[in-house]
Every structure is written in C-alpha cells, then in structure tokens.
Structure 1
C-alpha cells in the first residue's frame, strides 16, 4: 500500500516551522481507497506570503488541532506504508520531525514522484507538480492546498504505475536502492559514473553553476553520504533542492584532493561551502617605523590588504616566535611589544638598549632586517611526491620558501631533484596559510615522500 502525502507549512524546513495542513491518500496500487485531511494549528503565525500562496490564514487554523493531537492518527495511517510525495524528502522530513516531537518514530520506504516522472515520463517541459499535471491533463482546482495537491499527486502516481514499463518503481523500492534519498532533480546516472578514487566533486544547480565543492578519499562513497538521513534543517533542504548535476576530477591522493578543494572554493566561491571561505591564519608579524626612525615589530591580527613578514595561527604562536627573535637577534622586547611596563628593558642591551636611545636607529634596524631575513631563510623549499591517478604517474606538490608554488602530475620516471625543471611540469596555484600549513604537516608526517632541495644542494 502507498500513502500519498501533501502538506502545507509555515516555512521551508521542519526544525523551525510548523505544518498548517496535511492530506493523505491511501493507494492500493490501482486507486485511492482512503483519504484523510485536516488543518493543523502550527503554534505560530503563518507568514503573509505563505497565506497568499496557500490561502490558509491564521484565523483558519486558530481552532484547528495541534499536530500532537492528530499525530496518533497520522502515524497509524503512514507506518508500514510506502510514503509517496512530490519531492518526497521535503514532506517526509516535516512529517517525521513532527511525529518524532510527538513521540512517534516513523520509518517508511519512500518514493518521489518528481524522480519517477523524470524516468517514466522523460522530456516534459517542467516537473513541478502544477506544470506537470497541466501538461498531462490532470486537473487540480485547489493548488497549494494539501487535499488538492495530494489528489493530483495520487492521479499522477496512478499514471506512473500504469506507464512503468521498465520497472523503475520496483527498482526504487529495492532494499539496497538509494533512489528515494537522492535529490529530486538529480538523475541517478550522475551517481553511477562517479569513481571510487580520491578527488574533488562539484554539485551544480539547474543553470550549471557550481554550488558546492567537496573532497573525498572515495568520491562515489562521499557523494552518496550527502544524501543519507533525513536532516530537517533549512540549509540541507535548500542544498538538496539545488543539486541538478555532479562533476568531478580525480586527484591521486587525499592531500591533492584537499588542496584542489581549497583552490576551487576560492576560485568558484560556491553558495553552500562555508567552512573554508575563512580558513586563514588570523595573526601576523608586522613591522613599521616609529617617529624616531626605529623599526618596530609587533604581533597583530591579520589586516585586509596588508602583508605581514610572517604569519601565525594564534597570538600565542606569534609571541613565541617573537621571543625567539628577541633572543637570537638581541632585539628590544619593548620595541617588539613583549615588555609593556616602564621598568628597565629586559633585553640584552638593558639600559643601553635602543628603547633608551643608546643604540642608533641604523644599528637597531639592521638587526630587525636580519631577523626578517632569518624568518625567510627558515621557510622550507621542498616537494611532496606521491601516488598519481594512474600507475605510470606521480602526484607532485612544490613548496618554495614556505609558500605553495604549484602542483600537478609527473611521470613515474621523472627525476624531481631539479627544482627548475620540476616547475615546468607543475601548474602554479595561489596558496593560503591553511594550505601551506597542511602541506608542511603532511611532509612532517610522511618524510619519505618529501624531496628536500636544501639537502640535495648540500650533497651536490
């Protein structure tokens, strides 16, 4: 038996919105054998634009039962049936969420009439319920009302059952089938062609624009994980509705996938990527000249359009670097803003320090320049050589003076010891602190993958 469901709500996601009306048509595979419908008091005001869309006003639901009062009847109608709806994940997420809040755990197989219509009735100009029904001659005098839309969906479902010559419906209902959890606008062929390899994948909207970029050790498995579960949050619901196509690129290793993902997020700025848009080191070491001509060095928050002489992930890390510079290059702790009281300078010069005027600006500034040069010299230059996309190639990432130069793929037989030659085979990419830190940490964890050019130069 099939339970064909339509709901009207106060908004687009279940966790923050209520149901205002629900209709259920029980279908035996041939016809509708039972109907249920009721208005529901959502416990909150219905937005004006939704009142205009559905015709359901606050006054209409004022005396209607709350969902918890009809949850028992709804649960008993649905449990054990196949839950059918047009864009099923939306309706199911709402009903399951609110039944759960009332103490009922709904567990149903699902069928989406949007997805089934795309398979059984290909080539339609639109698969929205109203336009699809109009095109195939199904009448609906109560659009955007639960009973009218449920009846129209039931009639559409009957037509789909009768037209399903290739057994799409039985296939979708098989226990191992993931068909019903896929986004309504995504054809299964996009999932089937995904490889089980490391790489980056792209979700595209109906216009082909990339709305999400992700990385994976196993592209096929990771993409499928996006569509499991019944998260009722607003972001997930909008996310699922916007996925129309999937593309990908294989990357050879997880690190290559991570770096490519970071590059692509910066390049494409996808709508649903949030975590890496601000993944930058937040502090830096800055220098400036005071009114007396002395160069001062300070740890400060990263400022837009500014270039620090060194970056660090925290204020503590910055202070630790500064303390080492003060000790190594005999800098003034007051001029470096480490000592902030009016006591005698605790630096190597003490009362003869630059802060007392005993050391000239020229002499002190030379030490600052030495400290900056020391920071630069400490920045590593190396490559990471690892597995490629095929057996006859290797992936390669080049860090030059602590910054990402580029990455790419080289022949299995290529000698990567010459940095100038290696650059000819790599694609330059803009790096950021997140990427540089990731690469350096990876090299520390897997030293046998590292090609150290400084060590090569010493041995030459």
Structure 2
C-alpha cells in the first residue's frame, strides 16, 4: 500500500450533479502514504451563475470566478496530476463523477481506482457520532481552514486519510483497492458485506432511505447482479445522483421465478407507492359486469368500475370493451337493453323495434322466462373464464412455485412441497397467498402460459 500515490481531491460546484452543473474550484493533494508530495488548487469559471445558497455556503461568488480559467484550460494539468493515482475523496463518487465528466468532454480518459474516506472511516474508525467531514474532523481534532472551500476540505481529507492509514490494522484500505470488490461504486451507506448477503436468485428488492422508508422497488432475475448494476452505472444526471445518495438500506424477497418476481414487483409498487418508482404507479381503471335483482324479480346487468368489495361476473380492460361485449350478449341472448343499462332513456327499448327484446321492459315477458336466458349467459361466461395453476421451479430444489388463476383473474401465488399438485381450485387457493389482481399481472401470466403450455395445469 505504501508504494501507491494517492490524489486526494475536493471540488466545489454549482449544484449536485455533473450533467447540468459546473465545477467552481478544485484542490488536489498528491500523497505518497507518508506525506504530501505535490499540491494544486484553482478556481474555475463554470460558465454559469452560482446559486445564491451555494455562494453563501462556499463563499465563492460569481465575481471571484469571472477571471478564473475555464475547465478546458486546466484539464491537461488536472489529468496529469490524477492519471495513474488512486483517487481519494470524502464521498468519492460525487467528486469523481464531476471530474470524470468534464475530463471526458476534453478528450481525457480517467480510469482510476477510488477510495472513499466516508466508507473507510466507518470501518477503520467505528463508533463515531457522524461521518460527515465537518463532524468527523471535530471528533478527531482535525482543524479545517476554509470549510466548504476545496483546499480546506481537501487538506482535512488528507490529514484524515493519513490517520486512517496509520490506524488500518485490518487492512481495509488494501481490501477496498481490490479491483474485484468494486466497493467504491456503492453508495456511502451500503457496505460490501450487505451486498454480498444478497442471493443470486430471482426476487424483489427494496431501497430504503435514512428513515427506513422504502423509496424504490425493483425486480430481478438475479438479485445480486441487478442491485449492483444500479451502483456501477455512474450516471451524472441529477435524478440518479440524488437517488444514490438517498439509499441507506437494502432488503429483498426471493422468488422462485422471474415471473413471480415481476408479479410481486407490480403488487408492491401499488401497495407501497415508492417515491422513485413511476411507471407502475398509475392507478389502474378497470370495469366489471355486476348483476342484481330488481323489485320486479328481473336479473339486471350493470357495468361499473371495479370494486373489490362487490362480487363481479367478469372484468374488462375499458368501458368501451365492456359496452361492446354487453351489446353482443344482449343480442345473442335476446336480453333487454334497458334491463342491461345500455339504454337509460324513457322511450321504448330499441330491442323491441328489431325484435331482439321480447318485452321484459314493458310487461310482455315475465321475469322467470327472462331470467332463464340471463342465467344461461352467466353460466357461459363463468365456463369461458379459465381456472388454472402455473407450476414452475421454487426457491430451492425441495419446492415448486405455484400461481393460481381463478376464472381468469389472478388469485395468488406461493409454493408447494413435493410432486403432488392440488386436486382442485379450492385446494389450490389454500396453498398460495392471496394478492390483489391487476390487468398487467393477468396479461403477463396469460402470455407466459401461451409460450410455456407445459407449466399450465387446468383447475376447471
């Protein structure tokens, strides 16, 4: 470790992400593990106004950077200092993302190993009340000259780093420099140990903030690889950088298959409404066919919005689909447009004119005869709706996953032991966990059994 050269860097910027903000100041201390061997500091003209609150925090004003060099003027010198060194910073991904972004624009390819002094301090100097640079420095009696200026913060980070080199009895720095670990790509509060505890199986993962609130839900074919991919892609956009800074904890649920993971992700997003999920959060509008008996004994059909507390005959994707199919059923079974709520005007039923209605609405047909045809339609609709299971691999070799579709509607999913399948629908319902059903889930299950018919087992 002592043969390495470290470039200890701090920057001041106009904002939190490199894609739309500029660097206003940079300081670099080259350290050989014993002492500083070279140093560099300069203001930089960011070609944009510095927000007032940033000016108040750093003391760097628009007037101060007016005659400062542009980044392209100092880029060759900055690259010369950083090239081949280990890039060290307090919350290294922030500084590296800015410096790398602007060097790339000038044609320089920065490819440094990185060390994060926040992450290292948590391991080498555990038990301190805070690991922000200011509070950490106070705990360790490191005096910071010019706080929130690049040179002052970089020098404090240099002193902190030397203290950690001297205190690193468990070789955490060498461990972090292992190229395979990729630890510095992780957010400051996510440890490699926590990531290594995530299985390489399908499932759903949850990112939580400092208040333990779930801010993002995702699904994966391989939980470990998918979670790691969030951190290895060092996107400079504001949303990505803000997102990474908020992640403090990761939890997960293992599923037997990617299909189960996709279903659970959709359910969990609608249940938890995480701040960072957008696509699957839109409320789903579904329509249903309901029946009721009126005061005259006639069974009436009615189309309405899906209500989980009211039993429905069947579901529709849209009101247009519901009305179109109901009109077809009315004609086919000689039902009354008025009794099926397709006609709400006071004039005679339009079915009387074309003789598709036999007069249930004007007393020419009694309710017993009419209801026979309604019940025949309802029986046919129930028979047309398939009930089946999807049986696939489980979370381990001793179980199999089970998804239950009840009359065309997703009922739930779970796991069964051994090779014996549930004998009928009612038994199948007892071996799975019930979940809400959504159009998206029913479609992906339906599409899946079309391409994997051997995994579908009828329960009709």
Q: Contact conserved, 2:23 with 2:46, CA < 8 A, in 1?
A: yes
The match for 1:397 is 403
| Count of residues in Structure 1 that have an aligned counterpart in Structure 2 | 438
Q: Is the 2:183–2:191 Cα contact (8 Å) retained in structure 1? A: no
* Within-5 A mapping of 1:151-162: 151-162=155-166
Label 1:372 to 1:66 Cα distance change in 2 as closer, same or farther (>3 A): farther
**Which of 351, 354, 361 is the matching residue for 1:352?**
354
Aligned to 2:294: none
Q: Residues 421 and 372 (structure 1 numbering): CA distance in 2 closer, same or farther, change over 3 Å? A: closer
What are the equivalent positions in structure 2 for 1:261-340 lying under 5 Å apart?
261-278=265-282, 280=284
CA distance in 2, matches of 1:69, 1:427: 63
Aligned to 1:33: 37
Match for 1:47 among 46, 51, 63? 51
Contact 1:96 1:106 in 2 (8 A): yes
Matches within 5 A, 1:222-233: 222-233=226-237
TM superposition shift of 1:401? 2.0
TM-aligned CA distance change 1:328 to 1:80, over 3 Å: farther
**CA shift at 1:392, angstroms?**
2.1
Find the counterpart in structure 2 of residue 67 from structure 1: 71
Q: 1:322 to 1:31 in 2, by over 3 A?
A: farther
Inter-CA distance 410–26: structure 2 relative to 1 (3 Å threshold): same
Give the drift of 1:6.
0.8
Q: CA deviation at 1:283?
A: 6.9
What residue is the counterpart of 1:79 in the other structure?
83
Look up the match of 1:207: 211
With 368-377 and 165-174 compared, the bigger mean Cα shift is at: 368-377
- 5+ residue gaps, structure 2, are 291-299, 341-349
| Kept after mapping to 2: 8 A contact 1:385/1:395 | yes
Deviation for aligned residue 1:142: 1.1
SS at match of 2:26: strand
After superposition, the C-alpha distances for 1:72-111 in whole angstroms (9 at most, x for unaligned) are 2212221221111111111111111112222322221111
Matched, 1:133 2:137: yes
Report the CA distance between 1:371 and its aligned residue.
6.9
For residues 355 and 120 of structure 2, the distance between their equivalents in structure 1, rounded to whole angstroms, comes to: 80
1:441 aligns with 2:456: no
> Are 2:333 and 2:377, in contact at CA under 8 Å, matched by a contact in 1?
yes
Aligned to 2:432: 426
Contact 2:221 2:258 (C-alpha < 8 Å) held by counterparts:
yes
Task: Name the TM-score, length of structure 2 as normaliser.
Answer: 0.83
Q: TM-score, normalised by structure 1?
A: 0.83
Runs of 5+ unmatched residues, structure 1:
288-294, 337-346, 455-460
Alignment-derived partner of residue 342 in structure 1:
none
Distance 1:3 1:326, change over 3 A: farther
Give the superposed CA RMSD.
Answer: 3.6
Q: Deviations over 1:42-80 (max 9, x none)?
A: 222211211111111222222222222222221222122
